[in-house]
Amino acid sequence: MLRAAMDLLRETGSEESVSLRAVAARVGVSVPSIYLHFADKQALLDAVCAEVFEQLHVAMKTASADAPNPWEALRAMGVSYVHFALDNPEHYRIVMMRGSSEQAPADEIASGAFGHLLDGVLACIGLGILEGDPVDLGLKLWAAAHGIASLLIAKPRFPWPQVDELVDATICMAGTGLAVGSRLPDELSPDEIVKRLEKLR
Amino acid sequence: MLRAAMDLLRETGSEESVSLRAVAARVGVSVPSIYLHFADKQALLDAVCAEVFEQLHVAMKTASADAPNPWEALRAMGVSYVHFALDNPEHYRIVMMRGSSEQAPADEIASGAFGHLLDGVLACIGLGILEGDPVDLGLKLWAAAHGIASLLIAKPRFPWPQVDELVDATICMAGTGLAVGSRLPDELSPDEIVKRLEKLR
DNA sequence: GACTTGACTGAACATCGCTAACTTAGCGGC
DNA sequence: GCCGCTAAGTTAGCGATGTTCAGTCAAGTC
């Protein structure tokens, strides 16, 4: 049923088309049978969310695996995050752009993809590129990546200029802004920060 | 009917509760009467979107009106944008976090709030703080503001640390990242850019 | 063999967006 | 004074949705 729901979501490209009847028909059972395995339609969608989050997690992991340094790894994570969202727009919409369904999937987020992002941030702090609360830094990066991804998904009619470049530039903007901003009252000058950043590319 | 829909949205706090029957009951007419004024339920929601965008536009305008300089105006716009979204979460969700409904409201966006944002970007370019395509710069700022706003709205259960500070810090991150990044291959050094930025605060 | 348990089904319910057919009121022209 | 026309509103109903309920059927257990 879970797989049927995800496939249906990908094929139709719209959440409304994923009705319990459609899922049941695809699986080959009757509608009420779904309620024997999921408490609710929301529960089914929550299961889909968990699955998508796991896929996103591995996508970010593989993208950052062969990065030459933590800074590039962070950038690769951001870019792969956005590309994953654009490749699975409806799944991403369900996970990140809806009412969170009473139940807090915060643990899912924290333990999965966001945890991996935090590792990258910690590595950059260890390298002296970033400074401050890792969670805070990670949330800002997350906001930037999620921002450009969800904008591109929610407004496909907008005359976007060069999507790939825009995504990469947005991630870079967040990175340099974070690096320069977090080290501002520090002993390191912006010149040296940017020089370090360029050396890592 | 438009007002009834918006009030209903604010009171119930969930889009699902805004049914044509609920709107009709609140207005005091029968359900099909709505179709005499709106082609569709989507048309009603589109009208709501236009209204919300206009409110967002004036909110950003008033917030940036008494800023001491274009750079601070841009920051004020970003912060007020996010606060408007947090004050009207369900309205913001309808406008920015759904399927864009076939019809492109791109003109709405371009002419309204985004146009005002572009003015701010152009002023900063004139000041020598930013450089490059104004639309591109504006989109990145928009992505950052929308990112943190929609994250806060979509994941209210997440243990967010100090919302106001996080919002402001995210906007600042985007600003400095944009300024430093857009001037990188230029004659101005990061040191001087950041110094200029600090002088403007 | 009686009993429990779990997966499953058909029928039904309330609600949703939406449509068709009909009624009513107001207005200008002859 | 009556006609035709338009705008606004109505009742009744359609198909689809999420959800619940009573009942069926096979497998396992004592």
* Measured CA distances, A158 to A12, A184, B104 (Å): 22, 36, 7
How many CB atoms lie under 10 A from the CB of residue A6? 20
pLDDT digit string, tens, across residues B30-82: 999 999 999 989 999 989 988 888 999 999 999 999 999 999 999 999 999 99
Alpha carbon B51 to its chain's center: 13
User: In this complex, do A157 and B194 lie within 8 Å of one another by their Cβ atoms?
Assistant: no
AA identity, residue A148:
I
Q: A41 CA to C11 C1', in Å? A: 21
Mean pLDDT of A16-39: 92
Contact B142, B110 (CB under 8 A): no
User: For an interface test with B, which of A170, A183, A189, A191 has the most B Cβ atoms less than 10 Å from its Cβ?
Assistant: A170
A175: which DSSP letter? Answer: H
Question: Domains in chain A: how many in total?
Answer: 2
Contact B118, B134 (CB under 8 A): yes
Task: Tell which residue, B5, B2, B3, has the closest CA to residue B37.
Answer: B2
B122 CB neighbours strand D below 7 A: no
Instruction: Give the range among A21-25, A132-136, B193-197 with minimum mean pLDDT.
Output: B193-197
Nearest nucleotide by C1' from A27 CA?
C8
Alpha carbon A173 to its chain's center: 17
Q: In sequence order, what DSSP letters do the residues of B20-56 get, joined into one string? A: HHHHHHHHTS-GGGGGGT-SSHHHHHHHHHHHHHHHH
Contact A174, B144 (CB under 8 A): yes
B162 and B108 in a common domain: yes
* Measured CA distances, A64 to A59, A119, B48, B67, B127 (Å): 9, 11, 42, 41, 38
A73 and A29 in a common domain: no
Radius of gyration of chain B (CA): 19
A56 and A26 in a common domain: no
What totals of helices (H) and strands (E) does chain A contain, helices first?
10, 0
The residue assigned the tokens 């709405």 is: B108
* Measured CA distances, B91 to A42, A200, B14, B56, B114 (Å): 22, 42, 9, 11, 17
Nearest neighbour of B180 by CB, restricted to A96, A144, A194: A194
pLDDT digit string, tens, across residues B114-166: 999 999 999 999 988 899 999 999 999 999 999 999 999 998 888 899 999 99
d(CA A149, CA A172): 14
Task: Tell which residue, B76, B197, B186, B77, has the closest CA to residue B131.
Answer: B186
B187 and B163 in a common domain: yes
B14 and B83 in a common domain: no
pLDDT for residue A92? 93
Name, in order, each residue with C-beta under 8 angstroms of B8's C-beta and a sequence gap of 6 or more: B17, B18, B22, B23, B26
A69 and A167 in a common domain: yes
Closest-CA residue of A relative to B16 is A99
pLDDT digit string, tens, across residues A148-169: 999 999 988 888 999 999 999 9
B163 and B128 in a common domain: yes
pLDDT for residue A188? 67
B187 and B101 in a common domain: yes
Answer whether residue B5 shows pLDDT above 70.
yes
What totals of helices (H) and strands (E) does chain B contain, helices first?
10, 0
Contact A110, A135 (CB under 8 A): no
A40 near B CB under 8 A: no
d(CA B167, CA B148): 7
B64 and B33 in a common domain: no
Answer whether residue B168 shows pLDDT above 80.
yes
B98 and B73 in a common domain: yes
Can you give the length of chain A in residues?
Answer: 201
Nearest neighbour of A154 by CB, restricted to B98, B144, B166: B98
Mean pLDDT of A51-72: 93
pLDDT digit string, tens, across residues A80-131: 999 999 999 999 998 888 765 555 554 555 568 899 999 999 999 998 889 9
B183 and B124 in a common domain: yes
d(CA A147, CA A78): 11
B102 and B17 in a common domain: no
Which CATH number is B181's domain given? 1.10.357.10
Per the structure, the complete domain to which residue B31 belongs is given by: 1-37
B186 near A CB under 8 A: no
pLDDT for residue A104? 52
